[in-house]
Chain A
Amino acid sequence: MQVQFCSIVPPYLLRRLAQQDAPGFSSAASAARKALGHIESFQAARAQAVPVLPPGLRQVKPGPVDRTIYDAGGEETLPGRLVREEGGRATGDAATDEAYDGLGHTHRLYADAFGRDSVDGRGMKLDATVHFGNLYDNAFWNGTQMVFGDGDGDVFDRFTKSLSVIGHELAHGVTQYSAGLAYRNQAGALNESMSDVFGALVEQYVKNQSAAQASWLIGEGLFTSKVQGQALRSMKAPGTAYDDDVLGKDPQPDSMDSYVRTSADNGGVHINSGIPNRAFYLVADALGGNAWEAPGRIWYETLTSGSLPPAATFTVFARATARAAADLFGSGSKEHDAVTGAWETVKVKV
């Protein structure tokens, strides 16, 4: 006899829920395990193969972080001299110790809030080089590690000073190992926005801040006192982070009405990221509580479910977040409404 079985919660989600052991999920986890028991017996009866989970969904309990910090000594050769290993004592060098701590906080957010084991989801070592270059006013992810400059001392202080910057760079690695969003035009702005979102969430998680308490600033504290500006970017109010006679004004748009068409900056990836940044803030603001919970889960699910193409546009992404919200919380949920409302506010067609 053929048994028709349809689970309202897709099996892949039940499996994820069943493996959650984070606080607050225990009743959901046990309900999911029960439901899976039902599904698995039906599936056995149908003798159908269980679908293979896409890489982002394979749930392994995250292991401990494994950090190594290197010092490039003002040169540009990577990785540089090893200065601090996992479990090693604080060195007293601010950049080294900030990078070490920041990597740990970022790893912890991904493990605790999303069940992700490091950047690649498989316990990858986290390496960072500090003191890169001479007066180097930047930080970046090079595909295998993070790199931090000391700033020029004129406009910028050292880049490890901001936890959101450390989280931002590591998040580029997470994107590389999941959706692989191309670093150009709208896909690139989404890539940048993902880094700002998860960078902000690391700061909020460490400070245990609600969406209402958070500053929603990226790179707060990086500017020297000479600069008229609070931060590199504001997710809450894109375009307001700085207004300085040397740097100019924060160029970020806060809606599609002021989308910037440019060939600079790989098609404005750091500029137009203001639009999806604001959308995330609006979801977090609408739902209240901690932004790494429902909003973070929706964004993380969107990034890692395997259905977001590398060349995603804002519209494709917005639709994917709405679908993720519906999958996680239901199509009539306040979470789904917050997501569709946010995209409407920033004028991205869903």
Chain B
Amino acid sequence: MKIKVERSGGIAAVTRVWTVDAQSDSDLSQWQPLVEACPWDSVPKTPRAAAEQFAEAQPDRFIYSIRAGQRRAALPEQAVTGPWRILVDSAREAAEELRAQERRDEPAPG
């Protein structure tokens, strides 16, 4: 299962993407509960739908677009709470750790 968190907006308006590829049994046993805990059916699925539902947008807040397997959700930053927050923070941490690992593993220049 691929988990992808895309964060757009913010005053800098730089889109950041964090991806986790949960393939092994141990990966799935770690990520499945986090994904299942989120109420995917109760929230908008696209940024456009999120913008319509959460009409009182605060300027310069982030907008999150979250995918896990076939599921989709889009939420303004203020609504990324509870299980959504845990999923997003975990995905971000895992992706950044992976990137740091890749940089460490890069062959030394020479």
Contact = CB atoms under 8 A, between A and B. Distances in A.
A248 B60 CA distance: 19
Interface residues on A, range: 20 to 34
B47 A264 contact: yes
**Would you call the interface of chain B mostly helix, strand, loop, or mixed?**
loop
Given A143-B58, A184-B57, A266-B57, A138 B12 contact: yes
B11 A169 contact: yes
Contacts of A155: 14
A156 B12 contact: yes
A172 B60 contact: yes
Nearest to A148: B11
A267 B51 CA distance: 9
Given A140-B60, A232-B11, A264-B63, 6 more contacts: A140-B10, A140-B58, A143-B58, A168-B60, A264-B8, A265-B8
A281 B81 CA distance: 40
A247 B63 CA distance: 17
B47 A263 contact: yes
Name, among A141, A264, A270, the residue most crowded by chain B CB atoms within 10 Å (CB to CB): A264
A183 B55 CA distance: 9
Interface residues of B, number: 20
A265 B51 CA distance: 9
A167 to B, nearest CB: 12
Nearest to B60: A140
B60 A222 contact: no
A275 interface: no
Interface string B30-72: 0000000000000000111001000001111111010000000
B63 A137 contact: no
B9 interface: yes
A273 to B, nearest CB: 9
B28 interface: no
A270 B9 contact: yes
A283 interface: no
B79 interface: no
B96 to A, nearest CB: 9
Contacts of B60: 138-141, 168-169, 172
Interface in A118-170: 137-143, 155-156, 159, 165, 168-169
Given A219-B12, A232-B13, A266 B51 contact: yes
Contacts of A138: 10-12, 60-62
B12 A222 contact: yes
A137 B57 contact: no
B51 A159 contact: no
B91 to A, nearest CB: 15
Contacts of A251: 13
A146 to B, nearest CB: 10
B29 interface: no
